[in-house]
Each structure stands twice: as structure tokens, then as C-alpha cells.
Amino acid sequence: MKHFIQISDCHIDDTAQSLGVDSQKNLATVVNKITTLPSDALLISGDLTHNGALQSYKILKKILSPIQTDIFVIEGNHDNFEPLNAEFSSCLFTQFTLGLWDIISINSVQIGKTSGFVSQHALAKLDQQLSHSSAKYSLVVLHHPIVSMNSTWDDTLSLENPDDLFALLKRHPKIQAVLFGHAHESAEFNKNGIKIIACPSTAVQFNHESRIGFNHYTLLDDGQLHYTTQWI
């Protein structure tokens, strides 16, 4: 059995205020909670910063410093790859393993656009990783939603070509779930027997929810995945 925590959409800026809230204070509050929970890894599913400035990533790294586990990050549409890589190069990942599970990322970010797209190159890379994975079970993580959120969220800002991704996922039955952020809300869906799980923002939600939060996952050796959304 393994545990990991997913946070998303921290939107750390050079100043404390971002998206109308103190995103630095909010993330620090989340980190304080995370350190009390059992976890083998921390996954950050994009939009680590708000404007992609190098100083923002330095501030983020300081806020995350109490975390003792390995940290794994992917890029979001608000991120800037060069400064992200400068501060978090050892954390950027395409694949990591927890017990019998592989967690594999696919890039959905389009430069200069809010909505996402998975290229044929990215799909081919994911297909190859899944085909060569020796893990019994897999999770896929990306930044953008791949289903309609059925909420106030504007679905035109989600993944533009989800059918291309689902066509690939169908070929790999070891995939148990797909995780994402971007929509700033907590939600769960099911498609083709795969759990589709949205992670709330550590900064602010875009729906009626006034709290900040994150997802805490338990991965069992029989292929079951359990999680709770922790609200603060």
C-alpha cells in the first residue's frame, strides 16, 4: 500500500496576492496540513505559479520546504518552462513508481493558450511508456480536464481533443484513473471504467466552494484506488 498527495493550481506570484487571495499563505496552510498525513510523494499538477516568473518559483520552493517526501511536478498553462526547469528540474517527471503503480504524465499545455491539447507526439510517448511499464497498475496525470465538468467551469478551456486521449487509454486496461487540475474544483467522473479525478486548487476555487484543498490518495496492491479531498 502506498500513499501520495496531489495539489494543483497554486498560482504563486512574486507578491502574496494572486487571483484575489493570498496564494502564498494558502499554500503554506496546505503544506502544514500535508506534513501531518502519511504520504510517499507529493504530485503538483500544474500552474505552480501565476505568471511564470523565476522569483515566483523560488518563493514556491521555500513554501514547499517542509515537505520531506519526493516532489513531482508537471507544467500548467500559467507556468513558464525555463524558470520552472531552473528551480524544479529534479522534480519534473514523465513517470515515477509507487509500489505496484506507475504514475505517468502527458503534456497538455499549449503555448499562449488557456485550453489544452495532447499532440500526436505526446500520445505516442504515453503509449510507449504504458506499453513498456512493468507496473501492474497505472495512473495518468495531465493539467487539463478531459471530460465536461458539469459545473460553472467553461469546458472550452479544457482539453480540446479528449477523444484522442481516450482512444489511447482504452488500449491499456492497467490504467485505473486519470488525474488533473486546472478547473479549480473537486469532482469525480467515470468513463470506460476509468476514474476521472479533478484536484481542487490550493489558492481559490472557481465554483461555490470557499475552502482550499488537495487530494490524498491510497494505492492498494490489488489495484484499488481510494482518495479523499481534504478541505481547509
Task: Provide mean pLDDT across the span 10-28.
Answer: 97
**Hey, what amino acid is at 14?**
D
Confidence class of residue 150 from pLDDT cuts 50, 70 and 90? very high
Task: Provide mean pLDDT across the span 12-21.
Answer: 97
CB within 8 Å of 162: residues ≥ 6 apart: 146, 147
What residues form DSSP beta bridges with 97?
102
pLDDT at 117: 98
Task: Provide mean pLDDT across the span 41-52.
Answer: 98
Q: How many domains does one find in the chain?
A: 1
Confidence class of residue 146 from pLDDT cuts 50, 70 and 90? very high
Q: Are residues 51 and 18 in contact, defined by beta-carbon separation less than 8 angstroms?
A: no
pLDDT at 22: 98
CA 115 distance to own-chain centroid: 15
Q: Which helix (H) or strand (E) holds 17?
A: strand 17-18
pLDDT at 122: 98
Confidence class of residue 162 from pLDDT cuts 50, 70 and 90? very high
Q: Which domain holds residue 22?
A: 2-231
pLDDT at 39: 98
Q: Structure pTM? A: 0.97
Q: What percent of the chain has pLDDT over 70?
A: 100
Task: Provide mean pLDDT across the span 100-123.
Answer: 98
| pLDDT tens-place string over residues 93-106 | 999 999 999 999 99
pLDDT at 189: 98
CATH number at residue 145: 3.60.21.10
| pLDDT tens-place string over residues 71-84 | 999 999 999 999 99
Task: Provide mean pLDDT across the span 120-137.
Answer: 97
pLDDT at 159: 98
- The Cα 174–Cα 156 span in angstroms is 29
pLDDT at 83: 98
| pLDDT tens-place string over residues 174-223 | 999 999 999 999 999 999 999 999 999 999 999 999 999 999 999 999 99
- The Cα 210–Cα 232 span in angstroms is 9
pLDDT at 106: 98
